[in-house]
Amino acid sequence: MSHDEHDSLIVALGVPISPELLELALTHRSFAYEHGGVPHNERLEFLGDSVLGLAVTEKLYRDNPDLPEGSLAKMRASVVSTVALAVVARRIGLGEHIRLGRGEELTGGRDKSSILADTTEALFGAVFLDSGPEVAKDLVLRLVSPLIGEIDRFGATMDPKTSLQEAAAALGGPAPTYTVSASGPDHSRTFVARVSVGTLVTAEGTGTSKKHAEMAAALSAWTELDARSSR
């Protein structure tokens, strides 16, 4: 893709990024492995994770002077979670711009929460390098702050395993049990998690890690239980 093809993303971000850094931020490791080991976005993701964490931590600290550390930590975990960042990514149409390998392309990688979240963090890292910490912080807060006001709405999606456990208990069911299997080469493994809550519900989820697969399965199971209780 040329830089011009990312114009809609640049507009959505509202900040310029050099073509080289933008291309790097959008390059998933699956694309890199299929194209001779070209650089991919995981180092930028590592940097962007810290940019995100500091910006959100500072905002929560300043905006909530009466909240104890535990409450602030829980809010931060929700806002910087994979599911939350995937919401941000979908709002700016990020998926269509990611450079993916054929395998990920064929298995719906453009809408996988883990890939969307990681690429969002890589963009934060790229902006930090290109425009400095203040511009990067402003970008993070512009994109992520709306979620702070929606924490209750996103409660289950932020921490689906806890939400499922609470829903199961409320219905008098046992604690959820998980089984996980993995397939694929080491550099591109796919995990499938299956969760059961007694006879109440069974659901599956996939992800690029055991944790992400379990979260996806838990969210699917919670969604089903919530729909049932709402009828």
| Closest to 26 in 3D by CA, of 36, 11, 15, 39 | 39
The two three-digit tokens of residue 83, written as one number: 């599911």
Phi and psi based region of residue 100 (left: phi greater than 0; alpha: psi -120 to 50; beta: remaining): beta
Q: Is 45 annotated as a binding residue?
A: yes
Angle at 224 between CA 221 and CA 228, to 5 degrees: 140
Q: Is 121 a catalytic residue?
A: yes
Residue of 49, 104, 159, 214 marked catalytic:
49
Q: Is 49 a catalytic residue?
A: yes
Residue of 58, 66, 96, 121 marked catalytic:
121
Long-range CB pairs of 173-181 (<8 Å, 24+ gap) are 173/197, 173/198, 173/200, 174/198, 176/218, 176/221, 178/214, 178/217, 180/210, 180/213, 180/214
Q: How far does Cα 192 stand from its chain's mean position?
A: 17
Dihedral of the alpha carbons of 47, 17, 84, 73, in degrees to the nearest 10 = 40
> Could you give the CA distance from residue 53 to residue 185 in angstroms, rounded to a whole number?
31
List, by residue number, the catalytic residues: 49, 121
- Which residues make up each annotated binding site for Mg(2+)? 45, 118, 121
- Residue ranges of the annotated binding site are 45, 118, 121
